[in-house]
Chains A and B, each alone.
Chain A
Amino acid sequence: MSLITIATREPLSSSSSLSPLPLSPVARYLRPLAIPASLLVLWELLARFGVADPRFLPALEQVAARGVAEFNHGGLGSNLLASLERDLIGFVFGAGAGVALGLVIGFSRLVQRLLGPLLLVHRQIALFAWVPLISLWFGGGETGKVVFIALAAFQPTLINTWQGVDSIPRHYRELADVLIFGWRDFVWVIAIPGALPQIFTGLHAGLIYAWTATVGAELLLNIAPGLGGRMNEGQHLFQMDLLLMCIFLLGGVGVVFNIVAGTLERLLMRWRMP
């Protein structure tokens, strides 16, 4: 689902390296939208001229109309909020645990030796492989879903925080010795700020993973209010317009998450800009 958010950013880099012509600012601004826009036009043409079966590919305006109707009368807003709530709860638990454990592993050679191999094996296991186990341990209800989302957010934050602390240059540790820092000084003045860029990379990835996992949990575990539930409905009732509209919404939320995370990152790390 988050593929959509990534795909919209893709044309920017590829077209800029291909085009030798200087572009006007407006064109430069719109360029990343060129390919998604042409795909939408293609879609519209296929639907309008009856090339595609409207049962499988409804026209764009039909999808849009369904979206408006669902928001007004179908409770889509509360479904979206239910998904977002689940997503954020899972993210807070998973990312919180990931950052905390990442810091501990980064600081302690002992914990690193003890847990390192286990975490490397854990990394090799596909996220969705945990679904059966989680549904048996925690049930397919709300708890199971949040645990699954938390697990998704946990991994990238853990690995990135760990590596962020690990990669603090040795000469900063020596500086801490010279300034006779205690360990608390070291953690707050050197380690956390030094690891912050990478912690942020982890949180950013965790946010997107958690959103992917939210939809996954809603599709694979018990049906509950949420976007995944509506997609199930669209699938079973063969309502393509509902299904496609939900996919657009998922992508849109992903884009918003990306923008928010990017902005926060820039604000918090102003020291990196000369």
Chain B
Amino acid sequence: MSAPVTATDVEHGENHAPEIVDVSKKFNVAGRQVHALAHIDLTVDEGEFVSIVGSSGCGKSTLLRLILGLDTEYDGDIRVNGKRVERPGLDRSIVFQEHRLLPWLSVEANVSAALRQSRSSAAEKRELVREHLHLVGLDQFAKAYPAQLSGGMAQRVAIARALVTKPRFLLLDEPLGALDALTRLRLQDELVRIVRHEGTTAVLVTHDVDEAVYLGNRVIIMHPHPGRIATILPVTDAVSRDRSDPNFIRLRDEVLSWLGVSKGGSQANTLAVVG
């Protein structure tokens, strides 16, 4: 087991971002204890975009569920805004791999469903929905039903729904994984723009190493059995935003080698790692 790697030491007292302190999670599978996560330590800076990559079973999605508050049975501490996470809240939202839009609601009704527990007035809610549909470029489709949308458009609606509550943290659970390659590339750029516009802190879980390096300020590499952080690689300004830049390719290869994929293999565009 590798020693847990602590993230950058943020010492300014008011950190709103999630702090994950020595978190472990066990599951009981058929009477046997399985360590899904072991001693995870991670502090995400406010406004940061963090990518988590790792093969299947490394506990990435479990970690997101814990941050969301869907599962509160774990050892250690997950603090958001300085308080331990005990349940889901409007300060955190998630985009799943499948869009999970409700097929019987129009696009705008789907987005405003996220505001049912918000205290804003009806007029404010309408304005928020309009603003966020505009943000994802779907103003024209407010009255459409999910069945009328392409996969990429549906996922944009899901992004708008996740952001309409103005959450501090946006959790992204392989949000582009089910899309075709071209749509995925286009939406990656959109995602950068949207997240930056909202000033949200984002945690992205992905299988796609290219995507992790392209979007993240840091790339966190996790290893399975038990799920743990193997290393954290910073993505410097010299690297980001240019997929054909030698620095980008070098970092991508480094991530791949951490994941146990040889560099020779990575030349042949083996970007997705499926364990």
Residues on A facing B (Cβ under 8 Å): 171-172, 174-175, 177-182, 185, 189-190, 193-194, 196, 269-274
Contact = CB atoms under 8 A, between A and B. Distances in A.
A274 B68 contact: no
A174 B98 CA distance: 13
B70 A196 contact: no
A152 B97 CA distance: 44
Contacts of B148: 274
Contacts of B93: 178
Contacts of A174: 70
B103 A272 contact: yes
On chain B, which size bracket covers the interface? 20 to 34
Given A180-B117, A189-B102, 7 more contacts: A171-B98, A172-B102, A178-B68, A178-B70, A180-B88, A180-B89, A271-B103
B147 A179 contact: no
A182 B70 CA distance: 15
Interface of B: 68, 70, 87-90, 93-94, 96, 98, 100, 102-105, 113-114, 116-117, 145-148
A95 B172 CA distance: 44
30 contacts: A171-B98, A171-B100, A172-B102, A174-B70, A177-B70, A179-B116, A179-B117, A180-B90, A181-B116, A182-B117, A185-B116, A185-B117, A189-B113, A189-B116, A193-B102, A193-B104, A193-B105, A194-B102, A194-B104, A269-B104, A270-B145, A271-B103, A271-B104, A271-B105, A271-B146, A271-B147, A272-B103, A272-B147, A273-B147, A274-B147
A23 to B, nearest CB: 31
A196 B94 CA distance: 27
Q: Is the interface of A mostly helix, strand, loop or mixed?
A: helix
A273 B88 CA distance: 34
Contact of A178 (B94, B98, B102, B104): B94
Contacts of B105: 189, 193, 271
A175 B88 CA distance: 11
A189 to B, nearest CB: 6
A194 B145 CA distance: 14
A190 B109 CA distance: 12
Contacts of A272: 103, 147
Contacts of B68: 178
A191 to B, nearest CB: 11
Contacts of A196: 104
A180 B117 CA distance: 7
A117 B23 CA distance: 44
Nearest to B90: A180
A179 B113 contact: yes
A113 to B, nearest CB: 24
Contacts of A194: 102, 104
A194 B113 CA distance: 15
A181 B117 contact: yes
3 nearest interchain CB pairs?
A: A193-B104, A274-B147, A271-B145
B264 to A, nearest CB: 39
A57 B117 CA distance: 69
A171 B70 CA distance: 12
A178 B105 CA distance: 18
A66 B114 CA distance: 63
A189 B147 CA distance: 17
A182 B147 CA distance: 26
A163 B102 CA distance: 19
Contacts of A175: 100
A206 B72 CA distance: 45
B153 to A, nearest CB: 13
Contacts of A180: 87-90, 117
A181 B147 CA distance: 24
B88 A178 contact: yes
A126 to B, nearest CB: 36
Contacts of A273: 147
Nearest to B147: A274
A13 B140 CA distance: 40
A177 B105 CA distance: 18
